[in-house]
């Protein structure tokens, strides 16, 4: 397996040449920025010595933008203009937000491109613009702390973020005035931090449960090489869902049937505080200010564990799937790295330890470990680390393929292939004289295009007219280090080419990705049969088309009435069998038609030679000795 050397060799680490670079953990609930100083990675704090910046943005009537703690303080009193958990909205369309929107107090509007925008008193803003405000605040903090301009930043994203979500993150960084050195998967960033600090080698599971997303990655660590064997997770599962579970319990216990935006935020805030308190306490008291007066409820740790048990189980299901994808057994896991504030929940740590049969690592602050790992990577990419020999191998979550005749999906890059990667495959034309080729890029594990997800379409035009199968068209798929795909096609004889950078407007949720993977396994046998049928149908169409063209050209001249009748009979049978949809029957009918046409095909070849030699002597075709 080829490894990617991302360290810049020969760079000096002299103080006067030190380039300012940071790692940013752009989280759902909280965000952080970290850097490497004097060889040590640490997070950067604000004026009040707070490293964590709540990922909350508030827009006011006088066009002021408030970010962080001050915005969070107004979340209850001004829920419509205070945006929280915006990461969940990145790269999503309005129709994708139906499930989420019922838990969010915002009013969504769509612009001409169907990008959802949040309506506020200061105007309508997209998730990209809101995220850019968070990144701007972190950028200002970093430049103030470091005393200079940044050369770039490594920004982390969930491993299961698709092309749309990754592109949206890069767009937000550009709006914030940041040069993105690389997008780095959050679990990989955690591995960077733990791998460098502890020097551990072996197979490691990264369990990353944040405020709004869950990721699990299985990595092999060996002498500074971090190879991601598999990834899994859910981009709509996290500590926020723990809060919602408690909130629903609160509403039931308090007899609340109707919610205002203010009451909804009050309940969510109370739920979050209760969750955090139960990390240390066995019982907490929840106080609510209702129209009917004050109401107090008691929540025990035991009850809380029951409320969130199904959510924890969902994360372990993803862990089980990731182990299977990596071909790893539980006993092969040497360490489990816990990442994300939600891993502080004792029930989470207990269930994870029970599942893997080993105690998880928590010696680095789970809130800071991702930002620290990103800063170490940024330091190398900026050229500050002369000994930076860190190698990273991330993987793509779903196979990337192309549509071929018959609606079949031909995989070009298989899932869990390390990135960056380039793969090429040669294709040819289907019909005589074909001068254009439609390239349909798809993503998924199923055999039929109809069961996969369409990513992009483009056309290659200007192919010289040739007989079917003569053209040689090379299609190249390239996935860069950020997980973004570009596809190009080139006809080798003429040099004509076309390409597309795949930037889908909206991506798949992790539930959809997991569903696609599950479907591919559940329908494996059916898919293979369906593919076999389609292939035989395509072959039948090719044979019928070729016979029809031949009969039009010289059927009357070269065939007797009886021979023509036999061919027509075999052709009709093939047409009927093709519609019936049985691969073996189609194959047999194709063979019968070809056998029936054998003498006719031989006569055509002889006639072609005769026509070509008409008016010439045999000597003209014999070379001089």
**Is it the case that residue 176 has pLDDT exceeding 50?**
yes
Q: What is the mean pLDDT of residues 305-309?
A: 95
Of the three residues 522, 556, 580, the one that is the final residue of a domain is 522
Question: Residue 258 domain-assigned?
Answer: no
- Which sign, positive or negative, has the C-alpha torsion 348, 353, 355, 356? positive
What average pLDDT score do residues 4-25 get? 58
Whether 1 has a pLDDT exceeding 70, the answer reads no
Tell me which of 129, 162, 208, 325 is the catalytic residue: 208
What's the confidence (pLDDT) of residue 103?
59
Element (H, E) at 534: helix 524-558
Among 171, 186, 243, 403, the active-site one is: 186
For residue 6, being part of any structural domain is answered with no
What is the extent of the structural domain holding 543? 525-613
Query: What is the mean predicted confidence (pLDDT) over 232-258?
Result: 88
- Alpha-carbon distances of 522 from 395, 420, 528, 581, rounded to whole Å: 23, 30, 12, 22
Residues 378 and 498 in one domain: no
Looking at the predicted structure, is the pLDDT value of residue 50 above 90? yes
Q: What is the mean pLDDT of the chain?
A: 81
Q: Do 193 and 108 fall into the same domain?
A: yes
Work out how many domains the chain is built from and give that number: 3
- Is residue 210 within 8 Å of residue 340, measured between CB atoms? yes
DSSP-based three-state secondary structure for 156? strand
Q: Classify residue 223: in a domain, yes or no.
A: yes
Q: What share of the chain is helix, strand, coil (3-state, %, to 5)?
A: 40, 25, 30
505, 93 Cβ separation under 8 angstroms: yes
Is 186 one of the annotated active-site residues of the chain? yes
Asked whether residue 371 falls in the same domain as residue 463, the answer is no
Where residue 82 sits, what CATH number does that domain have? 3.30.420.40
Using omega within 30 degrees of 0 as the cis cutoff, is the peptide bond preceding 211 cis?
Answer: no
pLDDT band per the 50, 70, 90 thresholds, residue 57 = very high
Looking at the structure, tell me whether residues 385 and 439 fall in a common domain. no
Residue 183 pairs in a beta bridge with 155
- Report pLDDT for 9: 36
Residue 84's Cβ-count burial label (10 Å; 0-12, 13-18, 19+) is: buried
pLDDT of residue 535: 77
| Among 66-75, 112-121, 338-347, the least confident range | 112-121
Residue 346 pLDDT class (50, 70, 90 cuts): very high
Reply yes or no on whether the pLDDT at 140 is more than 90.
yes
- With tokens 């990419």, the residue in question is 381
309 is catalytic: no
What's the start-to-end Cα distance of the chain, in Å?
54
Task: Check whether residue 324 and residue 409 sit in a common domain.
Answer: no
25 is catalytic: yes
Asked if pLDDT for residue 102 goes beyond 70, the answer is no
The yes-or-no verdict on residue 614 having pLDDT over 70 is no
Q: What percent of the chain has pLDDT over 70?
A: 83
Distance between CA atoms of residues 315 and 351, nearest Å? 10
The residue among 345, 362, 395 that closes a domain is 395
Residue 84 has pLDDT above 60, yes or no: yes
d(CA 389, CA 151): 20
Between CA 385 and CA 37 the distance in angstroms is 11
Query: For residue 607, what is the domain's CATH number?
Result: 1.20.1270.10
Least confident of 24-33, 70-79, 398-407: 398-407
Residue 330 catalytic?
no
pLDDT at residue 145, rounded to an integer: 92
Classify residue 257: in a domain, yes or no: no
Give the alpha-carbon dihedral of 569, 570, 573, 578, to 10 degrees.
Answer: -140
Residue 612, pLDDT score: 62
pLDDT at 497 over 90: no
Residue 539's pLDDT band (cuts 50, 70, 90): confident
Q: Is 175's pLDDT higher than 60? A: yes
Separation between Cα atoms, residue 618 and residue 20, nearest integer Å: 80
Note whether 15 and 369 are within 8 A (CB). no
Range from 129-143, 389-403, 501-515 carrying the lowest mean pLDDT: 501-515
The average pLDDT across 40-49 equals 91
Please indicate whether residue 475 or residue 431 has the higher confidence score (pLDDT).
475
pLDDT for res 605: 78
Q: 509 and 533, same structural domain? A: no
- Per-residue pLDDT reduced to its tens digit, 214-239: 888 888 876 656 677 888 888 778 88
Residue 48 has a CB neighbour count (10 Å cut-off) of 6
CB 52 within 8 A of CB 68: no
The verdict on 404 and 473 lying in the same domain is yes
Place of tokens 């909130």: 247
Assign residue 451 the CATH number of its domain: 2.60.34.10
71-80, 196-205, 296-305, 359-368: least confident range? 196-205
- Contact predicate 212/75, CB 8 Å: no
Q: What's the pLDDT tens digit per position in 501-537?
A: 665 433 444 454 455 556 655 666 666 777 677 778 7
Cα–Cα distances in Å, from 453 out to 340, 435, 527? 31, 27, 16
Residue 20 has pLDDT above 60, yes or no: yes
The mean pLDDT value for 127-155 works out to 93
Q: pLDDT band at 613, cuts 50/70/90? A: low
Assess whether 185 and 65 both reside in one domain: yes
| Percentage of the chain exceeding pLDDT 90 | 27
**515 lies in the same domain as 541:** no
Q: Is the pLDDT of residue 422 over 60?
A: yes
Is the Cα torsion angle 521, 522, 526, 531 positive or negative in sign?
A: negative
Last residue of a domain, one of 333, 364, 395: 395
Contact yes or no for 156/183 (Cβ under 8 A)? yes
Q: What is the pLDDT of residue 303?
A: 95
Band of residue 323 on the pLDDT scale cut at 50, 70, 90:
very high
455 part of a folded domain: yes
Lowest-pLDDT range of 4-8, 23-27, 277-281, 487-491: 4-8
Q: Which helix H or strand E contains 580, and what residues bound it?
A: helix 561-580
Hey, which bits of 87-199 come out as E strands? 108-110, 116-120, 123-126, 152-157, 180-185
Same domain (yes/no): 321, 467: no
433: pLDDT confidence band, cut at 50, 70 and 90?
Answer: confident
Residue 272 included in any domain = no
Q: Are 454 and 406 in contact (CB under 8 A)?
A: no
User: Within 10 Å of residue 261's Cβ, how many Cβ atoms?
Assistant: 15
- Residue-level pLDDT at 24: 97
Instruction: Flag whether 621 is in a domain.
Output: no
**464 and 405 belong to one structural domain:** yes
- Nearest CA to 34 out of 184, 116, 155, 183 is that of 155
Sheet (strand 400-404) strand order: 408-413, 400-404, 436-443, 453-461
Nearest CA to 594 among 535, 537, 543? 543
314 in a domain, yes or no?
yes
- pLDDT: is 349 or 163 the higher one? 349
Phi, psi of 443 (to 5 degrees): -135, 130
Please give, one letter per residue, the 3-state secondary structure of 283-350.
EEEEEEEECCEEEEEEEEHHHHHHHHHHHHHHHHHHHHHHHHHHCCCHHHEEEEEEECHHHHCHHHHH
**Do 109 and 208 reside in the same domain of the chain?**
yes
């Amino acid at each position: 397996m080829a490894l990617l050397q991302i360290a810049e060799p020969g760079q000096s680490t002299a103080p006067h040449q030190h380039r300012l670079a940071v790692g940013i953990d752009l989280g759902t609930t909280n965000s952080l920025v970290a850097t490497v100083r004097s060889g040590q990675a640490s997070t950067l704090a604000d004026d009040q010595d707070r490293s964590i910046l709540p990922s909350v943005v508030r827009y006011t009537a006088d066009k002021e933008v408030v970010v962080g703690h001050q915005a969070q303080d107004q979340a209850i009193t001004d829920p419509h203009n205070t945006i929280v958990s915006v990461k969940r909205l990145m790269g999503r369309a309005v129709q994708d937000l139906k499930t989420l929107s019922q838990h969010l107090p915002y009013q969504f509007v769509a612009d001409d491109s169907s990008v959802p925008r949040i309506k506020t008193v200061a105007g309508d803003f997209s998730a990209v613009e809101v995220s850019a405000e968070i990144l701007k605040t972190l950028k200002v903090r970093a430049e103030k702390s470091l005393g200079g301009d940044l050369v770039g930043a490594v920004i982390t994203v969930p491993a299961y973020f698709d092309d749309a979500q990754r592109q949206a993150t890069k767009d937000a960084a550009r709006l914030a005035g940041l040069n993105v050195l690389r997008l780095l998967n959050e679990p990989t960033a955690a591995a960077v931090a733990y791998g460098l600090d502890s020097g551990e080698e072996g197979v490691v599971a990264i369990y990353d449960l944040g405020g709004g997303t869950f990721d699990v990655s299985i990595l092999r660590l060996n002498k500074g090489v971090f190879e991601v064997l598999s990834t899994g997770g859910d981009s709509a599962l996290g500590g926020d869902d723990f809060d919602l579970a408690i909130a629903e319990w609160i509403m039931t216990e308090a007899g609340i049937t109707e919610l205002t935006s203010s009451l909804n935020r009050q309940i969510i805030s109370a739920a979050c505080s209760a969750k955090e308190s139960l990390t240390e306490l066995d019982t907490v008291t929840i106080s609510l200010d209702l129209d009917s007066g004050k109401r107090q409820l008691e929540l025990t740790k035991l009850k809380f564990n029951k409320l969130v048990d199904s959510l924890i189980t969902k994360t372990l299901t993803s862990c089980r799937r990731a182990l299977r994808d990596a071909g790893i057994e539980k006993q092969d896991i040497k360490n489990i790295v816990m990442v994300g504030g939600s891993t502080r929940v004792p029930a989470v740590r207990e269930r994870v330890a029970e599942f893997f049969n080993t105690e998880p690592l928590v010696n680095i602050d789970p809130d800071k470990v991702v930002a620290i790992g990103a800063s170490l990577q940024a330091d190398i990419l900026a050229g500050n680390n002369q000994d930076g020999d860190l190698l990273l191998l991330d993987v793509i979550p779903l196979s990337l393929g192309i549509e071929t005749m018959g609606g079949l999906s031909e995989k070009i890059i298989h899932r869990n292939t390390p990135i960056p990667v380039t793969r090429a495959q040669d294709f040819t034309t289907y019909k005589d004289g074909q001068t254009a080729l439609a390239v349909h890029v798809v993503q998924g594990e199923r055999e039929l295009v109809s069961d996969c997800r369409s990513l992009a379409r483009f056309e290659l035009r200007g192919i010289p007219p040739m007989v079917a199968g003569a053209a040689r068209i090379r299609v190249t798929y390239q996935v860069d280090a950020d997980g973004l795909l570009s596809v190009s096609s080139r006809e080798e004889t003429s040099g004509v080419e076309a390409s597309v950078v795949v930037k889908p407007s909206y991506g798949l949720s992790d539930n959809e990705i997991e569903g696609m993977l599950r479907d591919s396994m559940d329908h494996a046998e059916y898919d293979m049969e369906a593919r076999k049928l389609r292939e035989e149908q395509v072959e039948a169409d090719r044979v019928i088309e070729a016979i029809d063209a031949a009969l039009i050209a010289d059927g009357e001249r070269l065939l007797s009435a009886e021979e023509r009748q036999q061919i027509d009979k075999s052709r009709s049978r093939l047409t009927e069998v093709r519609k019936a949809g049985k691969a073996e029957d189609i194959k047999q009918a194709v063979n019968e038609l070809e056998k029936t046409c054998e003498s006719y095909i031989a006569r055509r070849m002889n006639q072609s030679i005769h026509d070509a030699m008409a008016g010439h002597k045999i000597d003209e075709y014999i070379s001089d000795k």
